[in-house]
Structures are given as C-alpha cells and as structure tokens.
Structure 1
Amino acid sequence: EPILAAKRLRFVQVCAAGYDQFDLAAIEAAGIRMANASGVNKNAVSEHAMALILALTRQIHIARDNQRNHHWRGMISEFARREDELPGKTMLIFGVGQIGQRTAKLAKAFDMTVIGIRRDISEPLAAVDELYGPADFPSLIPRADVVVLCCPLTPQTTHLMNAATLAAMKPSAYLVNVARGACVDETALIAALDAGAIAGAGIDTTGAEPLAGDSALWSLENVVLTPHTGGETRKYEDNVIDILLDNVDRLTGGETALRNQIV
C-alpha cells in the first residue's frame, strides 16, 4: 500500500468522512496518524437526502421525463398515484451522526416525526423525537414513511437493507441511501421496487461504482439515482482544507489530539 511505503510519512488527512478503504491496524502499527473529514459535507449530504425525498414524493423525476417528451400531464384521478406531502410523515434515520442530525433538522422543518438509530443513545438529540439502538431497527421499519441511511459501512451495516428489512417497509414508504452502496442489497432492492413492495428509492451510492450499465436501477421509474454526488459542492475543497490546516497546526504545536482523529 502506498501509504505504508512512505517511510517518513507521519500524518494522513482523509478528504472524506468514510475510511473503510484503509487498513487502520497497519497504519497505526506504522506510527502514522490519520484523521477524516467527518462533518465536511454534512450540509451537502443532508440537503441531498431531502432533495431525493422531495423528488420522489413530488414526482419531479417523472415530471422531468414528461418535459423531455413535451408531455403536459393532467391531474391524476387515482389518489394513491398522486404526489404526496411530508407533514405528518415519519422519517426513520439509521445513523444519527452529523449528517443524520442535520437531515433530522431539515425533516422537522417539514413537520415530520423523526426516529433516530445510533449506537450511543445516552443523550437525547434536539431534532430527533425518538432515539433507539441498532437492535431496534427491524421493529421500527414498519412505522416509517421514509427510511434514510446515513451510517458508515461496517460489518453490521453491510446489507442492512436486505430482503427481510425491505419486506418490513410499508408499500407506500421510500428508501433513501446517502450512506455506502453496500449498506443495501441491490438485488433485493430491485426485486422490491419491481414488485411494488415499496414506493420507491432515492439512491446516491451503489455497491459498485460506477453502476453497471445493465443494472435495472437505471430504468426503474420509481428510482431517483444520482452518481455519488451527495457530498459534492462548490465549497467542498475549502471545507476539507480548513480541517487539514487545523490538524497541521495541532501537529506542529505538539497537541496529542487531532480533529476527527481515526488513529
């Protein structure tokens, strides 16, 4: 690994929140310190999550297709097929870290009820109405109108959304993934979407990126798909540099703790 081959290297600043691609044990054994950019994209990703939710509930993706085809759609007589409103709906967020908490705050602005899942439930969170541990997730899924994944990829969150958890969702509910692609079993998701077992999905990350050209996710009408752009904004690099400069100052100043330290 190039990092371990750099014998004089003492610090690595990861430019994203995720760090599952690194061998942390080997990096620590080599005496290298590492920090991530946790929080650098909390505004961007949470806004993206809400954008996906609004696109699905307001059927913006279908309207865009109609625009391309110069089709002016009339009012839909069947209530269940119409656009929907968010007030009174319940959002279930798995992973209420910085991104999850920001997403919860935005959801509250739409008068939604927010249920949060995180490992540490010792302290209440301002924008979260109910807070539970990961073990309670399966039993809470049937209550949700929107399930939002904001968690890191770990052995415990790999295929968190699978055939069983997808089957527990309401047929009218939506899944939004702004976490890692591997948090969702794509085969099971495609089957659920194709069968109408859930209303739709907003997907920013996929198991393999770029997404294979023959994936059914490209063509399913009840999917809004973005190419892992949730954290991409005009301010991203400036935000990362702020963290980097802070950590360089800490290192040169002899401080033991880094901002967002991993190892």
Structure 2
Amino acid sequence: MQERFALRNTGIRSFEVRTLDELKARIGEAHVLSVSGFWRNEFVEQAQQLAFIQSISAGTDQYSREILGAAGIRVASAQGVNERAVAEHAIGLVLAVARKLPMAFANQAAHKWRGLISEIAQREDELGGKTLVIVGMGRIGSRLAQLAKAFDMRVIGVKRDPARGGGAADLTVPQSQLLEVLPQADFVALTCPLNPSTQDLIDAKAFAAMKPTAVLVNVARGKVVNEPALIEAMRSGAIAAAALDCVWDEPLPPASPLWDLPNVFITPHSAGETQKYEDNVIDLLLENLQRLGRGETQLKNGFV
C-alpha cells in the first residue's frame, strides 16, 4: 500500500507499519489510517489525532461502531473493490473440487500418473445442471451468480431482503429459509458479511440438511461456519468436501485438524488479493479524503 500510494504523488505525508506493535506505538501520529486485520478498538484511546479509517477489507466486523462513533472517527469499508476477484476465486474453488485439481497436483508432486477411474462416483464432475446455493447476494454473491450461470448451473440466492432482487439467481429466498433450500444444493457458497445473524449460520443443523455429495465453499468469514461442526461433518462424511478461504483463527494454527482432512481444500484468505487490489483501495481512499476535505458527511462505503 505504501509503495503504491507513493506513486500517486499526492503530497500527503505517509508511513507504513508492518506489525501490530508498530501500529500501537505510532497510531498517535496518524490523522488517517488505512488498515484491516491490525485494527484493535482499544487503539482509540491512543489515536488522539485520528479522524478517518479507510479499511483495506470489505469486512467490517473488527470495527466497533459504538466506540469509533463516540470518538468521532469516520470509517469506510473497501466494499466492492474485490467483488470480481472474490467471485472468481469462489468459482475457481468450485471448479477445483469438481475437477479434483488438488488431487491432480498431489499426484504430480508424487510423479504419479493416475489411470482412468472405473467407479463413476469417484470421477471428476461437470458443473452444468448442478445447483449452487449462494448465501449472501451482495456484490460478490451477485457476481458469483453470473459466473455460475455461465457454467449452466442453477442458482438459488439466500438474501436478507429478497424483495430487493436476486440478480442472476433463478430463485431468491430469505435467510429464514436456508435450511429449506440446502437439501437442493450441490455446492453452497458463502459470500455474506459476518454479523450476529450470520455467525455460526452453517452449523450442525445446516450440515445435516445438506446432501452427502454437497460441497461447502467459504469466501466470506470463518465464523460464518461453526468450525467444530465443520470438522465433524468432514470426518463423518456428512458432506463431500469443503473449500475454505477463511477459518476461525488466521493464520490457521498448525495443530488444526483442517490441515490434514483429505476432503478439505484451503487457500490462505487470498480470494481478494490481486495485482490491482492496492490501487483499487487507494482510489477509494483518495475519493473519501476529497469528500472529507469538502466537508461532506457521506463517504463512499462509509459506515461510521
């Protein structure tokens, strides 16, 4: 971010920190902060000059609206800057599982040429005609629905307010009907924000509602899924596989059972990480700084 920001020649003095301790030590110098996972709400006490936080991430669960609002600190998310990237990553995970790409890579590393598979159920699969349930039909979920339709998939969207439209989805239902549509799913993709209504949304009841051939794809937040229930579902074969870009504790602890489960495919919360990401966030940051400079009250993606 610092390197890309310097190339803009804005005349705004800036510095970067690379550790939590560095941020804690220097936050008192900052009028504007661009941050994501390093943010801690207790930093407000030391951030006497801080006026604005431009989050680097679309997720906002780490920011206390109450604490920041009371301190008069404005906050905006990076919602939308990675919608294409995350949706593409999600469809990539769907394809990776359907086409058994992790297995192919493992065989390549072992110099093993796998022969043709006589057992039909163990072969790679096609996406056409399969049903994808997308939980969270915001920008990312809507983009994912478009991509899925290009593969001739049937898409069911789960949305807080279905009356506002479901984009490319064939059917859109409220979150209260999630358990009713899960039995239809060949793939379940999570693209929703983390909030009190979505925490542990995919729990033991949800796994029990899914068919044993179903695949869970999580590009949302780790805590949307009840992790002990996920591990049990993977071990028991309640569902066929899970492709996870996010987990409860990140980095994933070395002792986590998820590392060694053969039906779990993990990417390191990299769905939104692209070569354009920093520049997309900086565009948003500069737009919001201009609005603040003009005395405007409404920020782009502002939520505090």
Q: With structure 2 as the length reference, what TM-score do the two structures score?
A: 0.84
Q: Which residue of 2 aligns with 1:46?
A: 87
Asked if the contact 1:173/1:199 (under 8 Å) is kept, the reply is yes
The one of 129, 133, 142 aligned to 2:183: 142
Q: Which residue of 2 aligns with 1:186?
A: 227
State whether structure 2 residue 62 is matched by structure 1 residue 21: yes
Stretches of structure 1 lacking an aligned partner (at least 5 in a row):
none
In 2: Cα distance, 1:190 partner to 1:7 partner: 44
> Which of structure 1's runs of 4+ aligned residues deviate more than 4 A?
none
**Residue type of the alignment partner of 2:165:** P
State whether structure 2 residue 236 is matched by structure 1 residue 195: yes
In 2: Cα distance, 1:157 partner to 1:204 partner: 17
Q: 1:38 to 1:4 in 2, by over 3 A?
A: farther
Shift of residue 108, structure 1, vs aligned partner = 0.7
**Residue type of the alignment partner of 1:85:** E
Number of aligned positions between the proteins: 263
1:142 match: secondary structure: helix
Q: Which residue of 2 aligns with 1:213?
A: 254
In 2: Cα distance, 1:123 partner to 1:156 partner: 19
Q: Which residue of 2 aligns with 1:232?
A: 273
The one of 114, 129, 135 aligned to 2:170: 129
In terms of mean alpha carbon deviation, does 243-252 or 189-198 score higher? 189-198
In 2: Cα distance, 1:167 partner to 1:102 partner: 28
Asked if the contact 1:62/1:221 (under 8 Å) is kept, the reply is no
In 2: Cα distance, 1:174 partner to 1:222 partner: 10
Stretches of structure 2 lacking an aligned partner (at least 5 in a row):
1-41
Asked if the contact 2:44/2:71 (under 8 Å) is kept, the reply is no
1:122 match: secondary structure: helix
The one of 253, 273, 289 aligned to 1:248: 289
Q: What is the aligned-residue RMSD (CA, Å)?
A: 1.1
The one of 84, 87, 100 aligned to 2:141: 100
Asked if the contact 1:175/1:200 (under 8 Å) is kept, the reply is yes
Shift of residue 4, structure 1, vs aligned partner = 4.2
**Residue type of the alignment partner of 1:217:** L
The one of 109, 112, 131 aligned to 1:71: 112
Shift of residue 89, structure 1, vs aligned partner = 0.7
State whether structure 2 residue 193 is matched by structure 1 residue 152: yes
Shift of residue 23, structure 1, vs aligned partner = 1.5
**Residue type of the alignment partner of 1:248:** L
In 1: Cα distance, 2:170 partner to 2:147 partner: 13
The one of 200, 206, 209 aligned to 1:165: 206
2:132 match: secondary structure: strand
Q: 1:28 to 1:98 in 2, by over 3 A?
A: same
Percent identity (aligned) = 53
State whether structure 2 residue 226 is matched by structure 1 residue 204: no
Asked if the contact 1:205/1:228 (under 8 Å) is kept, the reply is yes
**Residue type of the alignment partner of 1:63:** A
Which structure's relative contact order is higher, taking Cα pairs within 8 Å and 6+ residues apart?
Answer: 1
Asked if the contact 1:4/1:27 (under 8 Å) is kept, the reply is no
